[in-house]
Amino acid sequence: MAASTPSGAPSSKEKKYDRQLRLWGANGQNKLESAHIALFNASAAGCEILKNLILPGVGQFTVIDDKLVEEADLGANFFLDEESLGKPRAERTAALLGELNPDVKGNYLVDSLSNTLSAKPELLNPRSTPFTHIVIISPVPTPLLLQIPIEIPVFLVNCVGLLFTLRISAPLHTIVEAHPESLVDLRLLNPWPELSALAAEKTKNLEVQQEMDGDEGMSDHEHGHVPYLVLLLKYLDDWKRRPEGDGTHPSSYKEMTAFRSFVQDKMRTHVPGGSEENYEEAVAAVLKHVRKAEVSEYAKTVLDHPACANVTSESTNFWIIAKAVKQFLESPEQGNGLLPLSGGIPDMKAESSGYVALQNVYKNKARHDAALVQKNVQSILSSIGREPSSISLEEIEIFCRHANFLRAISFRPFSAELSTDEFHKKVVKDAFESWDADSALINDYVAFRAFQEFITQNNGRAPGDTEGPLDEDTVEMQRLAKAYLSEVGCSLELAERTENIIGELVRYGGAELHNTASLAGGLVAQEIIKIITQQYVPGNNTILFDGISSKTGTYVL
Amino acid sequence: MTVADHPKCGAGGLGCEVLKNLALSGFTDIHVIDMDTIDVSNLNRQFLFRAADVGKPKATVAAEFVMRRVKGVTITPYYGAIQDKGPDYYMQFQLVICGLDSVEARRWINATLVDMVDPENQESLKPLIDGGTEGFKGQSRVILPTLSSCYECSLDMLTPRAAVPMCTLASIPRQPAHCIEWASILEWPRIMGDKKLDNDDPEHITWLYEKALERAKEFNITGVTYSMTQGVVKNIIPAIASTNAIIAASCCNEALKIITSCSPFMNNYMMYMGDEGVYTHTFEHEKKEGCPVCGTLATDYEASGEWTLDEFIERLKEKPDIQIKKPTLSTERRKLYYAGPPQLMEMTRPNLDKKLKDLMDSGEEVAITDPGLPFSLRLNVIFSK
Ligand SMILES: [Zn+2]
């Protein structure tokens, strides 16, 4: 990514990518530009996926396909034209896709997945592969799928008629910037000394009405501009000290509503308009912000992960900083049970200087926490033989700001799913026991599972893709679906929905419809971008789309 | 596949996708309307345009590209506003797909299609399919004018950007955005006088950025950047190719179902959320009773007889389901306030300070027109006790 020009005006690249940089920033864009995507099978869906990665500027792509362009391809694939007829699909789609963005390097190989695996194994060996991410458009027989090393992220797509599925298999995926709605963590019930001191000072004469200029009282203007955070801190303290109270913070819903009235009653009502905006903001914030600072389940999953405890010289920066944050959390001298502070506060009614002073108390605490984490990082780096300054303070600060929203996602490998292990059985059984099972997309999955089995047994031929009678394939698909259900331990009767989906799959004979392919192209590219940028949260691990009822479903299979 | 005479509005992010999808789904006669020209910031998603096309009309370039690539399809572009065309024009189509980026344009096409419905003539009912995206999120919906919930019925689902009070901008800024709005709303007219601020002129944006930066320094506020200045002034909504592809395909999927009757089409609203996993929610948005466009009755509106007319207008402006800016108000028996022409404005201005109870009776119907409203809004103003 080229940096901005000195005047602050954007570079030409920043202009072109402006609308997406507002989502994933220069950091995400750099990761995107370092990625190299391989597409096996240049179908319409495959090309639409690439299109949505090339436009935002993925580094490189390689189309791998061994077919020649036929008339039928032109009716579904926008990245083929009449001139392409009879020529290699890989070559033509790479050329037309390449026109989308001159900053992206396009390559092609006239080859198949099975031949690549046997004749050019170095291309799919995790140590020598040029590809960072692999997209495979079905049909792919199961044994081929299982040959792809689990170290490379793979996106397997089935796209037939009005239906499609996406299965993601990837190594442990970590996210710092999940982009939650808000990072705000006000610590109203866990204030640190500087925050308490500021609140006490700013509310010293809160109850005293100013009678004349220069007396100790607070004028209506000042009173109406005390930031609501400060008001809540002050009134929480007062609440604890009430003679009738028990010395604790409000916690139950009943206490919270009582506390809300307690704040409301302190508002000056003789002012113009009869109310004060800062008090109204304080009242509205009670239920949302008056709560104990807690470590989220997601953050716990990360900090309790074995990769966090077992940091080695092979570990990524993510796990090294995570370990340092865990040390911070557990150390009585550092976090003492709390994560590093995010440091942000929302906008609120206040004078500029009062707001900035409050903001600085939060920012300083966040900076202080991050500096402690940095010390921990440095000693961890030394202990694993890495340069102590090899992780920048900036990276640590971003990590600390997002500490409560960290994610670590383990994508199960294809082998675990396709061998129908115990975990898989439980997920499917649970899905069939849910209240909406009749209409749930788990029924579609059963049909697609039969589809995968059919392809495997018929050497890559899709059900319905035949000169013979369709009925035979339908019967075989139903038999395979029942066999799968019996393996899982579910009822052997096929649900009506599963039968309908099987009917759809056979009717289209494995063929793609452009419009569904285009939807798949958007959705799959979206998930790939989330994985490449390590921002936002990808679906785990199977996403199904049904264009008949316009529904999606996600299962960890 | 049926040959469908078929228009769509917008050749932007959604529009490019929709044209491609329709052409490859067997539609052979498509019309496209768009008033924009191609900007360099479109190239990250509007895949029918290249760097050499910057400055040319979107509708024309998009139509030519798709016709070149897909044989047997005719696409007729119109470079202009959807409002340039009237009911006669829209009557020739089977359905309308909208990928518009402005609330005003959507309200206009919605009201126009609802207005066109003649109960005696089946053909006059034109399904409207509407799509929109923001970042990783989006929505698509099917509107059967007069029969199902219309765009106006759901206007309150929009969350309007909270306006910052003028006093905050003028004297107590706290956020970088406050400094930027101060520069564009207060400082530009003060220094530049009548010169119009052009959001697309980099020199103007640079001027605002520098002013905002100075002001931020003065108040110890950090975080003003050029990119943020542009974002605030132009109200930029993040947009990416992948979300556009999802929403456009969803719209076209419904168009196909409506035209071919192959399976029931969506009833009637789908939300897509891609920030965290992939989540869609499909539900029936209900017709709003008293919808000013597709409803038949005037809506009740509670007011105090003690309010001045001015106060009444200010409160109406704040209502998210009305969204008016410079309204003209009248009752059956008198003109209440006219926003123009000047003579009428002068004549009715004194009413602004009068109390509602001195201008009308409780329950009286007030008709409201506004440049932002493609129809006349009728309210039964009922005085609360
Ligand atoms: Zn309506």
Interval B312-341: pLDDT, tens: 988 888 877 777 888 889 888 888 998 878
A276 pLDDT exceeds 70? Answer: yes
Residue A3 within any structural domain of the chain: no
Same domain, A50 and A100: yes
- In chain A, residues 18-57 whose CB comes closer than 8 Å to chain B: 18-23, 48, 51-52, 55-57
- What is the bridge-based pairing of β-strands B328-331 and B364-369? antiparallel
Which residues lie closer than 8 Å to A421 by C-beta, 6 or more apart? Answer: none
Angstroms from B340 CA to nearest CA on chain A: 31
Predicted local distance difference test score (pLDDT) of residue A3:
45
Angstroms from A179 CA to nearest CA on chain B: 8
- In chain A, residues 108-167 whose CB comes closer than 8 Å to chain B: 162
Using the mean position of ligand 1's atoms as its centre, give its distance from the Cα of residue B329 in Å.
22
Residue A186 within any structural domain of the chain: no
A30 pLDDT exceeds 60? Answer: yes
How confident is the model over B251-269, as a mean pLDDT?
89
- Sign for the CA dihedral angle at B5, B9, B11, B17 comes to negative
Which segment of A23-32, B150-159, B217-226 scores lowest on mean pLDDT? Answer: B150-159
**What confidence category does residue B5 fall into, taking pLDDT thresholds of 50, 70 and 90?**
low
Say if the Cβ atoms of B51 and A52 lie within 8 Å: no
In whole angstroms, give the CA distance from residue B60 to residue A78.
19
Which residues lie closer than 8 Å to A314 by C-beta, 6 or more apart? Answer: none
Predicted local distance difference test score (pLDDT) of residue A246:
85
A322 closest CA partner among A393, A383, A408: A408
The two three-digit tokens of residue B247, written as one number: 């929403």
Which residues lie closer than 8 Å to B378 by C-beta, 6 or more apart? Answer: B292, B298, B299, B365, B366, B367, B368
Same domain, A441 and A458: yes
Annotate B31-64 with DSSP letters as a single string: EEEE--B--GGGTTT-TT--GGGTTSBHHHHHHH
Name the residue with tokens 């899709």: A462
* Residue of B21, B141, B246, B270 to mutate, interface with A, max A Cβ within 10 Å: B246
Which residues lie closer than 8 Å to A306 by C-beta, 6 or more apart? Answer: none
Using the mean position of ligand 1's atoms as its centre, give its distance from the Cα of residue B296 in Å.
10
Q: Where are the beta strands (DSSP E) in A57-114?
A: 60-65, 105-110
Say if the Cβ atoms of B173 and A19 lie within 8 Å: no
- Sign for the CA dihedral angle at A331, A336, A338, A342 comes to negative
A193 touches chain B (CB under 8 A): no
Which segment of A40-49, A468-477, B5-14 scores lowest on mean pLDDT? Answer: B5-14
Predicted local distance difference test score (pLDDT) of residue B54:
96
Say if the Cβ atoms of B240 and A20 lie within 8 Å: yes
Which of A409, A427, A451 finishes a domain?
A409
Say if the Cβ atoms of A15 and B40 lie within 8 Å: yes
B182 closest CA partner among B197, B170, B167: B170
**What confidence category does residue B159 fall into, taking pLDDT thresholds of 50, 70 and 90?**
low
> Looking only at Cα atoms, what is the longest distance across chain B?
68
Give me the number of domains chain A comprises: 4
> Looking only at Cα atoms, what is the longest distance across chain A?
99
Q: Across chain A, what does the average pLDDT equal?
A: 95
Q: Describe the strand order of the beta sheet including A133-137 as a list of residue ranges.
A: A105-110, A60-65, A36-40, A133-137, A154-160, A163-169, A542-546, A551-555
Note the ipTM here. Answer: 0.95
Same domain, A216 and A278: yes
* Residue of B16, B18, B24 to mutate, interface with A, max A Cβ within 10 Å: B24
Query: H or E element: which one contains A231?
Result: helix A228-241
How confident is the model over B36-56, as a mean pLDDT?
95
Which segment of A122-126, A200-204, B44-48, B365-369 scores lowest on mean pLDDT? Answer: B365-369
How confident is the model over B43-68, as a mean pLDDT?
96
Predicted local distance difference test score (pLDDT) of residue B319:
79
Phi, psi of A218 (to 5 degrees): -105, 125
HSE value, Cβ hemisphere, 13 Å, CA-based, for B281: 8
The CATH number of domain B299-383, selected from 3.20.20.70, 3.30.1360.120, 3.10.290.20, 3.40.50.10440 = 3.10.290.20
Q: For the CA atoms of A459, A463, A467, A469, what is the dihedral angle to 10 degrees?
A: 130
Predicted local distance difference test score (pLDDT) of residue B297:
66
A393 touches chain B (CB under 8 A): no
A contacts of B71 (beta carbons < 8 Å): 74, 82
Predicted local distance difference test score (pLDDT) of residue B1:
24
A401 pLDDT exceeds 60? Answer: yes
* Residue of B247, B278, B279 to mutate, interface with A, max A Cβ within 10 Å: B278
Predicted local distance difference test score (pLDDT) of residue A2:
44
- Sign for the CA dihedral angle at A262, A267, A273, A274 comes to positive
In whole angstroms, give the CA distance from residue B281 to residue A66.
39
**What confidence category does residue A7 fall into, taking pLDDT thresholds of 50, 70 and 90?**
low
Residue A185 within any structural domain of the chain: no
Phi, psi of B232 (to 5 degrees): -70, -45
Predicted local distance difference test score (pLDDT) of residue B262:
79
In whole angstroms, give the CA distance from residue A536 to residue A539.
10
pLDDT tens per residue across span A81-102: 999 999 999 999 999 999 999 9
Given CATH 1.10.10.520, say whether it is the number of domain B166-233. yes
Burial class of residue A368, CB neighbours in 10 A (0-12, 13-18, 19+): middle
Query: Which part of chain B has CATH 1.10.10.520?
Result: 166-233
A contacts of B282 (beta carbons < 8 Å): 549-551
pLDDT tens per residue across span A468-502: 888 999 999 999 999 999 999 987 789 999 999 99
Same domain, A119 and A147: yes
CATH class of B7-158+237-283: alpha beta
In angstroms, the Cα distances linking B295 to A57, B89, B96, B115, B299 are: 47, 24, 21, 11, 9
Same domain, A86 and A222: no
pLDDT tens per residue across span A302-339: 999 999 999 999 999 999 999 999 999 999 999 999 99
- In chain A, residues 305-364 whose CB comes closer than 8 Å to chain B: 347-348, 350-353, 355-356
Residue A7 within any structural domain of the chain: no
Q: Which residue in A20, A548, A554 is closest to B263 by CB distance?
A: A548
Predicted local distance difference test score (pLDDT) of residue A212:
85
Residue A5 within any structural domain of the chain: no
CA of residue A130 relative to chain centroid, distance: 25
Same domain, A479 and A437: yes
Predicted local distance difference test score (pLDDT) of residue B339:
86
**Is-catalytic flag, B167?**
yes
Which residues lie closer than 8 Å to B7 by C-beta, 6 or more apart? Answer: B30, B31, B32, B33, B90, B93, B96, B97
Q: Is A395:A534 a contact under the CB 8 Å cutoff? A: no
Q: Is B4:B27 a contact under the CB 8 Å cutoff? A: yes
In whole angstroms, give the CA distance from residue B239 to residue A455.
38
How confident is the model over A19-29, as a mean pLDDT?
96
**What confidence category does residue B2 fall into, taking pLDDT thresholds of 50, 70 and 90?**
very low
Percentage, residues of chain A above pLDDT 70:
99
- What letters, b where the CB count within 10 A reaches 16 and e where it falls short, cover B42-64? bbbbbbbbeeebeeebbbbbbbe
How confident is the model over B5-16, as a mean pLDDT?
77
Say if the Cβ atoms of B69 and A81 lie within 8 Å: yes
CA angle, A267 as apex, A265 and A272 as ends, to 5°? 135
Q: Which domain holds residue A301?
A: 297-409
Predicted local distance difference test score (pLDDT) of residue B7:
63
- What is the bridge-based pairing of β-strands B128-134 and B96-98? parallel
Number of residues assigned to chain A: 557
Angstroms from B216 CA to nearest CA on chain A: 10
A contacts of B226 (beta carbons < 8 Å): 4, 7-10
**What confidence category does residue A108 fall into, taking pLDDT thresholds of 50, 70 and 90?**
very high
Query: Which part of chain B has CATH 3.40.50.720?
Result: 7-158+237-283
Which of A351, A386, A409 finishes a domain?
A409
A contacts of B227 (beta carbons < 8 Å): 10, 14, 18, 21-22
More confident residue, A538 or B383: A538
Which of B16, B98, B167, B252 does the annotation list as catalytic? B167
Which residues lie closer than 8 Å to A519 by C-beta, 6 or more apart? Answer: A164, A545, A547, B245, B246, B249, B250, B253
pLDDT tens per residue across span A193-225: 999 999 999 999 998 988 888 888 899 999 999
**What confidence category does residue B160 fall into, taking pLDDT thresholds of 50, 70 and 90?**
low
Angstroms from A152 CA to nearest CA on chain B: 20
pLDDT tens per residue across span B72-81: 999 999 999 9
In whole angstroms, give the CA distance from residue B120 to residue A370.
71
Name the residue with tokens 């017709």: B287
Same domain, A34 and A151: yes
Residue A283 within any structural domain of the chain: yes
Q: Is A464:A505 a contact under the CB 8 Å cutoff? A: yes
Q: Is A34:A57 a contact under the CB 8 Å cutoff? A: no
